[in-house]
């Protein structure tokens, strides 16, 4: 029997667009670029030969257009995994639910999603300006723990090794981290050999959860020292950002291909940052557009 989704569960606006994104099903391309900053959407779309739609609601700005003959949708997610929950569920609904009948479509449509973001580097091989591709993500956000099938798609041995290394239990830096792989095929195609492949912590905040201490002390003052020293089966943690785990996790559960690549704008080891990164991130955007 086909699954039916009532109006309280899948909210559709009066104009037939999906609730938060305000995107209509016919506007969604199979190839999707996700960015955090709504301002970055125009930067991506500035490379398009034509635009077929442009819509904006809250932090979600969407443009669909064509790049070298490829139909691509670019969407901003704002900051954080909570927004990725909204964006991924609404994109998947646009692709795989019939908005007229509110039933799941017979034929599954797979999306290819690449997030282009900014991040903080944690290792000597991730100085400011490096492009780091998240081969694995460690989710500090807890999002995937609300979905069935989480244990089937996560690397449980890696999770145990990481938790043992950190020595966290009870309320200390809860909820329990989950470890999830990006799409290997997509990483091979987009990252090739000129981007650093690493393990990314997707944190539930920019300050405390990434070990930044301003006026309020951290629960675990040794957090980042331990993170930088952690090693498991040759993997070291390379960077902090805030969305890659939810993107990789929900994509795996939904059957889509996804990956995240970020440009390092702050190196936490040597305490340096660069806020004038617009030109460098445009190089990354162009590389992804060519390879997606
Ligand atoms: C924090 O400044 C934001 O920057 C990073 C983090 O993941 C977080 O969203 O990515 P974006 O530049 O894509 O937003
Ligand atoms: N984005 C993050 O989440 N952390 C950083 O340090 C830089 C960008």
**Residue-range domains of the chain with CATH:** 23-289 (3.40.50.1580)
The reported pTM is 0.98
Instruction: Name the pLDDT band for 174 (thresholds 50, 70, 90).
Output: confident
Q: How far apart are the first and last CA of the chain?
A: 35
ipTM: 0.99
The predicted-structure confidence for 119-143, as pLDDT tens digits, reads as follows 999 999 999 999 999 999 999 999 9
Q: Tell me whether residue 60 is exposed, middle or buried, using C-beta atoms within 10 angstroms of its C-beta: 0 to 12, 13 to 18, 19 or more.
A: buried
- Identify any residues that bridge with 200 across adjacent strands, giving them in sequence order: 137, 239
Pocket test for ligand 1, best of 121, 132, 209, 243 (most atoms within 8 A of CB): 243
Could you give the count of Cα atoms lying within 13 Å of 147 in the half-sphere of its Cβ?
18
Average pLDDT score, the chain: 97
- For ligand 1, is residue 141 a contact (CB within 6 Å)? no
State the distance from the centre of ligand 1 to the C-alpha of 35, rounded, in angstroms: 8
Residue bearing tokens 């199979």: 30
Q: Is the pLDDT of residue 1 over 80?
A: no
From the alpha carbon of 202, which atom of ligand 1 is closest? Answer: 7
The predicted-structure confidence for 72-112, as pLDDT tens digits, reads as follows 999 999 999 999 999 999 999 999 999 999 999 999 999 99
The predicted-structure confidence for 16-72, as pLDDT tens digits, reads as follows 999 999 999 999 999 999 999 999 999 999 999 999 999 999 999 999 999 999 999
Q: Which two tokens stand for residue 202?
A: 């997707």
Instruction: Point out the ligand nearest to the CA of residue 116.
Output: 1
């Amino acid at each position: 029997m086909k699954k039916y989704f009532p109006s309280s569960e899948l909210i559709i606006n009066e104009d037939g667009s999906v609730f938060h994104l305000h995107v209509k099903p016919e506007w969604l391309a199979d190839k999707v670029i996700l960015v955090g900053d709504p301002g970055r959407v125009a930067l991506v779309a500035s490379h398009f030969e034509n635009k077929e739609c442009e819509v904006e609601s809250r932090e979600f700005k969407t443009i669909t257009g064509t790049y070298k003959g490829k139909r691509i949708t670019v969407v901003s997610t704002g900051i954080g995994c909570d927004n990725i929950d909204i964006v991924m569920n609404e994109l998947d609904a646009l692709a795989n639910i019939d908005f007229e009948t509110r039933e799941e479509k017979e034929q599954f449509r797979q999306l290819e999603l690449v997030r282009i973001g900014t991040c903080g580097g944690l290792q000597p091989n991730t100085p400011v300006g490096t492009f780091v591709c998240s081969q694995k993500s460690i989710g500090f956000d807890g999002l995937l723990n609300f979905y069935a099938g989480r244990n089937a798609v996560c690397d449980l041995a890696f999770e145990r090794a990481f938790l043992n290394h950190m020595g966290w239990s009870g309320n200390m830096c809860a909820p329990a981290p989950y470890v999830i792989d990006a799409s290997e095929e997509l990483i091979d195609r987009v990252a090739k050999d000129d981007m650093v492949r690493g393990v990314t912590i997707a944190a539930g905040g920019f300050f405390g959860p990434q070990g930044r201490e301003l006026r309020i002390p951290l629960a675990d003052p040794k957090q980042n020292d331990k993170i930088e020293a952690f090693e498991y089966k040759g993997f070291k943690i390379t960077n902090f950002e805030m969305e890659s785990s939810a993107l990789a996790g929900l994509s795996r559960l939904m059957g889509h291909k996804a990956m995240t690549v970020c440009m390092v704008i702050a190196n936490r080891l040597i305490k340096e940052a660069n806020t004038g990164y617009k030109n460098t991130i445009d190089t990354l955007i162009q590389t992804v557009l060519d390879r997606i």
